[in-house]
Amino acid sequence: DVKVTQSSRYLVKRTGEKVFLECVQDMDHENMFWYRQDPGLGLRLIYFSYDVKMKEKGDIPEGYSVSREKKERFSLILESASTNQTSMYLCASSPGGVDKETQYFGPGTRLLVL
């Protein structure tokens, strides 16, 4: 069974703080993703990585950065948190290759920025 874990389920931070969200997968997947999920907007891709040290911007990268130093770990960084970054953050991973390989999601981190 694929397991994707996220460092926190709930997080409360203050405006301007630096925030780190960690994601770890145990299935040796090449691809990892960070999404945010907001009511009415669905899942929106922030950044993804298809290999160690490789990253690409998703649809809404502004205000975020990422780090992938090891294959199993993908970190999302909010350099200076703002209230509009209050959201549910979901990490996912998938094997390399195409076809019907799905993405496997972590349990999510609900972030509140005050």
Partner 1 sequence: GQNIDQPTEMTATEGAIVQINCTYQTSGFNGLFWYQQHAGEAPTFLSYNVLDGLEEKGRFSSFLSRSKGYSYLLLKELQMKDSASYLCAVRRIKAAGNKLTFGGGTRVLVKP
- Selected binder of partner 1 within 19, 23, 24, 31 (CB under 8 A): 31
Q: Does 107 bind partner 1 (CB under 8 A)?
A: yes
Q: Which of 19, 21, 23, 33 contacts partner 1 by CB under 8 A?
A: 33
Q: Which range of residues in 18-26, 42-50, 61-69, 75-83 is near partner 1 by CB under 8 A?
A: 42-50
Q: How far is CA 30 from CA 10, 39, 48, 62, 68, in A?
A: 27, 29, 11, 24, 11
Which residues are CB-contacts of 8 (< 8 A; sequence separation ≥ 6)?
A: 21, 109
Does residue 90 touch partner 1 according to CB under 8 A?
A: yes
